[in-house]
Amino acid sequence: GKFGRSSDQPSGKFGNNPQKIAKKTREGEAMVSVASSGRLVRRSSPRAGVETLLRKLGTGAGVDGDGYGASFDLPRVRDEVFQNWLIAEAKSDGGSKIRAQYCCFTHHDAVKAYRDDRASWHWLDKELSSNMAGETGAVQIYRGALAAMSLRPGSFTEDAREFVRTHMQNELGHLRLFGSIVPTGKYTTLLPIWRVAGWTLGFGATFVGGTRGLYVTVEAVETFVEDHYQQQIGPLKEAGSSPELVRLLEHCCEDEVHHKEDAAKRLLGPDDQQFSAWWVSPWTIVVQRGSSIAAEIARRV
């Protein structure tokens, strides 16, 4: 193919042997190899920025799963994300350089262009940036909730604390996955604000509203997140070019649905009556609209 992908053999300076071809990148962090099928696959360790972020979160950078038994072919996911970018870039007004150099534009050149911090963001890059921001905020919501619980130890049951700890670890697994497939140059620059906003939301809802405030907030957030993921899964499924990425997104979406349903179940009264205080509806609207605005900002900045 003219961008270094071919169903038969690679072209350009990589030569014609599809079995053993490797070239060190300028970053000194990756090898580009050719699989037996002749398809170029990038095998690399995450960049230093990702490692730093994940180390702060207490997670490992070289992951292939979420820590709960789900595993994914992350090199394949990264390649699917990269191929989506390359196709979108070639079709864009700014892709004239790629189109003009197709005869000698190697896989290494394409990867270098993709990982450049100045590279364009296309639809999938924007969506993954919003996912990274969302999962960062989700982790902080639960951390804020735990902080509120520590200030009012007699007001919360161990069951409520376990709810927070379990779901926080689950969100950390999601964050670890996205941190492994999204280049740091394609993170929103406002991640610190998302951390503060998430922590404040979790702390405030729990400290003021108690367990019910926490559960209402989680249900509202996860209702938005479910729809957010579905808006990505649908187009990717229709395109049919990113099956492993779709599988990862579906897995994360299923987890978020479980979080939503778990929170909703805990709000039920003894006769399975839904909790319906006057503030539930307006608070839900505020949380969901705030989440929507935050996701849109993460797509753009």
Q: What CATH number is associated with residue 157?
A: 1.20.1260
Domain membership of residue 255 (yes or no) is yes
Query: CB of 147 within 8 A of CB of 203?
Result: yes
Tally of structural domains, the chain? 1
DSSP-assigned letters across all residues of the chain: -TTS--SS---GGG-S-SSS-EEE-TTSSEEEEE-TTS-EEEEEPPPHHHHHHHHHTT--SS-SB-SSS-B--HHHHHHHHHHHHHHHHHHSGGGHHHHHTTTT--HHHHHHHHHSTTPPP-HHHHHHHHHHHHHHHHHHHHHHHHHHHHHSGGGS-HHHHHHHHHHHHHHHHHHHHHHHHS-GGGS-TTHHHHHHHHHHHHHHHHHHHHHHHHHHHHHHHHHHHHHHHHHHHHHHHHH-S-HHHHHHHHHHHHHHHHHHHHHHHHT--TTSPPP--TTHHHHHHHHHHHHHHHHHHHHH-
What's the pLDDT at 25? 36
What's the pLDDT at 110? 83
Domain membership of residue 7 (yes or no) is no
Q: Give the separation between CA 213 and CA 209, rounded to whole angstroms.
A: 4
Count CB neighbours of 181 within 10 A: 25
What residue type is assigned to position 197 of the chain?
Answer: A
Domain membership of residue 228 (yes or no) is yes
The residue range of the domain holding 132 is 123-300
Q: Give the separation between CA 278 and CA 138, rounded to whole angstroms.
A: 25
Please report where in the chains the tokens 């007699």 appear, as a residue: 154
pLDDT (tens digit, 0 to 9) for every residue of the chain, 301 residues total?
434 444 443 344 344 443 333 333 333 333 333 233 333 333 343 334 444 444 444 333 445 655 555 789 999 999 999 999 998 988 887 665 665 555 566 778 888 888 888 888 999 999 999 999 999 999 999 999 999 999 998 899 999 999 999 999 999 999 999 999 999 999 999 999 999 999 999 999 999 999 999 999 999 999 999 999 999 999 999 999 999 999 999 999 999 999 999 999 999 876 777 788 899 999 999 999 999 999 999 999 8
Domain membership of residue 175 (yes or no) is yes
What's the pLDDT at 237? 96
Domain membership of residue 231 (yes or no) is yes
Looking at the DSSP bridge assignments, the partners of residue 44 are 30
What residue type is assigned to position 183 of the chain?
Answer: P
Domain membership of residue 159 (yes or no) is yes
pTM assigned to the model: 0.76
What's the pLDDT at 105? 67
* Neighbouring residues of 300: CB distance < 8 A, sequence distance ≥ 6: 126
Query: CB of 138 within 8 A of CB of 255?
Result: no
Provide the b/e sequence for 75-98 (b: ≥16 CB within 10 Å): bbbbbbbbbbbbbbbbeeeebeeb
Domain membership of residue 261 (yes or no) is yes
Give the strand pairing for 40-44 and 22-24: unpaired
Please report where in the chains the tokens 């290494």 appear, as a residue: 108
Domain membership of residue 223 (yes or no) is yes
What's the pLDDT at 283? 97
Q: Give the separation between CA 67 and CA 69, rounded to whole angstroms.
A: 6
What residue type is assigned to position 127 of the chain?
Answer: E
Q: HSE (CB half, 13 Å, CA atoms) of 171?
A: 29
